[in-house]
Amino acid sequence: MLISLGIFLSTQALADRNPVLRRNFPDPFLLESGSRTYAYATNSDGVRVQISSSDDLEHWSVPTEGLARLPAWVNENKPDVWAPEVLRVDSHYVLYFSARSKSVTRPDGIGRLCIGTAVSTHPDRDFVPHDTPLICDEFAEGVIDVSPFRDGDRLYLYYKNDGNCCKRPTWIFARELDSTGLATVGTTKQLGVSNDQPWEGHVIEAPTMFKREGAYYLFYSANAYDKPGYAVGYARCDGPLGPCKDASTHPLLKTPAQPVGWFGPGHQSILQIDGRTVIAYHAWNVLPDGKRDRCRAMHISEVEWTAAGEPFIKLDSERAEEWRCPTRRP
């Protein structure tokens, strides 16, 4: 018998247990499938696509490899498989990710980041990649942080140009997908969201489209990923292809003013589960001496909503239990 997560998982439980996965697990993405929730993360310690799973959002399995092999278009010496996200399409799962091309360069001569796809009949393993990228030639500087979204029977893909690599503005874009989730259709739409707020610094990234009670919300992260100023904001959108407008000049989720043992929350994923909204994000672990650990661990918090349909997040103000990043795998 399946037990509703809401019965035994409380907001306070999430706050008390953060981070919920105490290892390097950056750019987390959540997918509910069957009785379990799966989390996917950027490469770490030799694992190209990290996958962990849980049946209560609190206790997570040790991450394992999800990508069967590198696709032929990726630079084997510097693959940079980043920010994987997954969409279920019919009886299979499509994995989207960014990786570095071995044949196409950006203006500074470094391999261009492109969007790739891989397919599996399982949510947690054996994703077989396609040997040509889905999107690579749209921007000379490259494209990263891909995120799929289903709206009824239609599928969409969100991403950002890698402008910060080459002193160019960064924008968030959207493109519709065909019914297989493996090909784009129509034209690319610029959603109107860029790094134009002081708190956003030189980059805006990690788009996540979310629909609630007929309203569209585009969550995103901004500022330097390795600094305390990294944070999460959101925009309100007219539809899945925009236009979108920043809902506030301040971030929704940021480093608390008082020391809590971590900083730089971001690269979020939003999941509606058992009538509740949760947000997964990474944050840097801080050691007792105040220095940054090497781990960006996964945190999960509750997203609450005002009567006007605006999200807010209450963070636990207590300092997290001290811990250290596990030793690197051989």
List of residues 6+ apart from 159 with CB closer than 8 A = 115, 135, 143, 144, 145, 146, 147, 172, 173, 175, 207
Please tell me the distance from the alpha carbon of residue 122 to that of residue 328, in angstroms, as a whole number.
Answer: 27
- What's the pLDDT band for 14 if we cut at 50, 70, 90? low
Which residues are catalytically annotated?
Answer: 27, 205
pLDDT digits (tens, 9 = 90+) for 294-318: 999 999 999 999 999 999 998 877 7
Tell me the β-bridge partners of 266: 282
At 41-66, the pLDDT tens digits run 999 999 999 999 999 999 999 999 99
pLDDT, position 15: 55
Helices (H), the chain: 5-8, 11-17
pLDDT, tens digit (0-9, with 9 covering 90-100), for 94-146: 999 999 999 999 999 999 999 999 999 999 999 999 999 999 999 999 999 99
DSSP-derived letter for residue 142 is -
Q: What percent of the chain has pLDDT over 90?
A: 86
pLDDT, position 4: 33
pTM of the model: 0.94
Of the candidates 183, 233, 223, the one whose C-alpha atom is nearest the C-alpha of residue 203 is: 223
Each domain of the chain, given as residue ranges in start order, spans: 5-312
Predicted confidence (pLDDT) per residue in 170-202, tens digit: 999 999 999 999 999 999 999 999 999 999 999
We find that the CATH architecture of domain 5-312 is 5 Propeller (2.115)
Of the pLDDT bands very low, low, confident and very high (cuts 50, 70, 90), residue 167 is confident
pLDDT (tens digit, 9 = 90+) per residue, 220-273? 999 999 999 999 999 999 999 999 999 989 999 999 998 889 999 999 999 999
